[in-house]
Structure 1
């Protein structure tokens, strides 16, 4: 496995990101229009590549003001536990800070809390409503 490189706000391959998302979250879904959605709605995003393949991704959404939100943090299963996710979050944090945001939020399942604490987040209770 080659070294991992990172790109902020690059063009996203919809097929590659849909496949990564499926692999990381254990599902099988349709190819989504990631590139158009990200360019239209997101503050920033970070991609991780190794050997020419997408191996990690995180999306930074925002409220248009001072609050940013991490979404869709995912790393290819064969790259998990190697620091790729931590580096994605670090670069996403820098991107949000660079735009003037003063808060970065993340909601996560309890099993991911240790990961996000390692990335510098403080645990907080959050609510979720399935629509």
Structure 2
């Protein structure tokens, strides 16, 4: 398994991984354009040339960065790939001068983010816009 930072994104490949990881239908999204425009960085995990994991980091241009879209192919789960992705993303955010890395997660992912990845528990708010 190889970790690649800011790899050339294939929209179909990443959309497929995202759908597999989140249990949804494959709907091709403009990932490459979106990441280039909005992300500080993104990180992929590859088995040979097969994309098996992904995470992106967006930021405010200053001290705060945000983990989004952490995804691991279900056949590669529970092997530490997600943790390696998040740690690589954190290293990239640190290198860019960020002081804080934020993540929102559903309750069933608390052990992953809090224990495996080392995030602290904080209170946060969420406003549904649509």
TM-score relative to the length of structure 2: 0.96
Report deviation, 1:29: 4.0
Residue of structure 1 aligned with 2:126, choices 117, 122, 128: 128
Q: Distance in 1 between matches of 2:62 and 2:22?
A: 30
Report deviation, 1:121: 0.2
What is residue 68 of structure 2 aligned with on the other side? Answer: 71
Residue of structure 1 aligned with 2:79, choices 74, 79, 82: 82
Q: CA RMSD in A?
A: 0.8
Single out whichever of 86-95 and 117-126 deviates more from structure 2: 117-126
Deviations 1:42-78 (A, max 9, x none): 0001000003210000000001111000000000001
Q: Aligned to 1:43, what secondary structure does the other structure show? A: strand
- 5+ residue gaps, structure 2, are none
- 5+ residue gaps, structure 1, are none
Q: Is the 8 A contact 2:57 2:67 kept in 1?
A: yes
Q: Distance in 2 between matches of 1:108 and 1:38?
A: 20
**Dislocated runs of 4+, deviation >3 Å:** none
Q: Aligned to 2:86, what secondary structure does the other structure show? A: helix
Q: How many residues align?
A: 128
Q: Distance in 1 between matches of 2:24 and 2:128?
A: 18
Report deviation, 1:128: 1.4
- Report matched runs for 1:18-97 at 5 Å: 18-97=15-94
What is residue 119 of structure 1 aligned with on the other side? Answer: 117
1:8 has 2:22 as partner: no
TM-score relative to the length of structure 1: 0.95
Q: Aligned to 2:57, what secondary structure does the other structure show? A: strand
